[in-house]
A and B are shown apart, each in its own frame.
Chain A
Amino acid sequence: MSAQRAASLQALMWPAVLFVFLMVVFPFGFAFWLSLHDYKIGQTIRFTGLENFLLIWRDELFWNGFRLTLQLYGLSLVLQLVLGVALGLLLNRIQRMRSLVRTLMVSPFMLPPVVIGMMAIVILDPGMGVVNHLLKSAHLPTSLFLASTEGVIYTIVLIDTWQWTPFVALIVLGGLQALPQRIYEAAAIDGARGWRELVYITLPMLGPTILTAAVLRSVDLLRFFDVIYITTQGGPGYASTTLNIYAYKKAFDFADVGYASALMITLSTIVFAAVLVFSQFRKKVSW
């Protein structure tokens, strides 16, 4: 292999690398630079150092967003992992109509978020939506869902869980089908069946797969924007103004560019930290 040829192959990579530098790395640096300034659209830009970050620390709406983000993240992640593993185990035992079930499973998370949002608005409408009609005819309490200050975040958790549990389940299914059958044969000889087989063999071996699903869902949930913004725009009041929504509103409703950038840098740091923690964890459990 000549050195000249190695160089020519590397050249195939440079357009993409250049593009990523221009559209991702440079903007990231730019956003960081903006976060160190007081800059509102139409006013002069002024260097203020870390003042924006100090303001964030004392901003009640930031902590409101922080709490909502963690609440949404924790609840959704646990629900989706638990239900996803259960569904994956169920799918693994299906004999008939596999392909039909798989198609149905894939549909929710391939739909555009705006479609999810529109469906949720119509189906969960407090007055005329079909879900409240159903609850009423079953003599169960109805809900304001997306219009409820207390309930909105749980409603969003439910919507996201509907959309993404099948994704977790299909990843789990892939992991299950890759497990060596010999181990189950050995376990059967040793008398491990049913729950014992699940708890002592299947789940530990699925560890890396479940962590993979957890990382993917964490990244999406911590920076969750689209369905929330489409259905509530952060409302009612600030009841669903998560960090990402809050940063967006600061930027585009209030034109507070410097402060919004500081919020976005803070959120990015949280996402990267979560990924880092998970990847350290993953190194330990992989076999």
Chain B
Amino acid sequence: MMGLQVAVLCVVLFAPIAWMVMASLKPSTEITRFPPELFFSPTLENYRQLFGRTDFLENTLNSFYVTLGSTALGLLLAVPAAYAISWHRLVWPATLTLFARMAPGTLFLLPWFLMFSQVGLSGTHAALIITHTVITVPIILWTLLPHFDGLPRELTESAQIDGCGAWRILFWIVLPVVMPGLVVATILAFIFSWNYFLFALALSGISSKTAIVASFNFIGEGVTNWGALMAAATVIALPPILLTLLIQRKLVAGLAVGAVKG
């Protein structure tokens, strides 16, 4: 009985994803056939079309620039901050970043839009990296806080007596110890930055358009080429799914931690 329940659960959860991948490998005429053929000779034609006839390759590269840039900038800002916040047992700076996690993203779009046009950054990669860092900073901060909180204070006190500066202590003594937490934080930040839709939708320009926004435009253009559409979906889904497999066990704890402590 329980085995059956679990089997049904797995099918319900996984069938749409399997459907997407299968459709991306079928000739367009086959996709809408019912009943669908489960065994077919796969073709890469949809992927060839996707990357050949559109700017999708460039869009995908843009996605990587924005995601990697915002993850790196997020680490640079949030890792030292998490360390300081944890050491001094401060509450308000962490709560402040939670504010960014709770506010509707649309709230920021108009101010950002006006701010970026003031400084001439409208539609640039830099503008997208900065806005996506608003997503990565709270994730990294809140994932790391419990790890820093768990460190024994003696760990760094002897280094301080030897006269090491704060940055050197952080890099050479503290970070190696919290490495597992740092990996989870980095991967979560990457996934959420990669997945985020709204900021790039409203603020990207022609040269900085991400794969996510490009795929949305495929839908809007009334593309009935389901094969290419599903190929694009599969390509976008790949990075988060692969990274999820790496850290699946720690991932949920990482996601819930902000709420548990807040």
Contacts and interface: CB of A to CB of B under 8 A. Distances in A.
Given A19-B137, A25-B96, A122-B230, A110 B191 contact: yes
What is the predominant secondary structure among interface residues of chain A facing chain B? helix
B108 interface: yes
Task: Find the residue from A171, A225, A264 having the highest chain B CB count within 10 A.
Answer: A264
A120 to B, nearest CB: 8
A27 to B, nearest CB: 4
A17 interface: yes
A1 B111 CA distance: 42
B84 A12 contact: yes
Interface string A214-244: 0110010011011001100000000000001
Interface stretch (A47-55, A56-64, A86-94, A179-187): A86-94
A167 B252 contact: yes
A112 B101 contact: no
B256 interface: yes
Contacts of B237: 111-112, 115
B84 A118 contact: no
A8 B252 contact: no
- For B10, B202, B248, the residue with the greatest tally of chain A CB atoms inside 10 Å of its CB is B248
B100 A20 contact: yes
Interface in A103-156: 103-108, 110-115, 117-119, 121-123, 128, 130, 133, 137
A27 B102 CA distance: 14
Interface string B220-257: 00000010011011001100110011001101110110
B259 A212 contact: yes
Interface of B: 2, 5-6, 9-10, 12-14, 16-17, 19-20, 23, 31-32, 34-36, 76-78, 80-81, 83-85, 87-88, 90, 93, 96-97, 99-112, 114-115, 130-131, 133-134, 137, 141, 160, 165-167, 170, 191, 194-195, 197-198, 201-202, 212, 215-216, 219, 226, 229-230, 232-233, 236-237, 240-241, 244-245, 248-249, 251-253, 255-256, 259-260, 262
A-B pairs with lowest CB-CB distance, top 5:
A16-B81, A27-B111, A12-B80, A223-B104, A13-B84
12 contacts: A10-B88, A19-B133, A23-B131, A23-B133, A24-B96, A27-B111, A101-B10, A105-B13, A112-B237, A114-B212, A166-B13, A271-B104
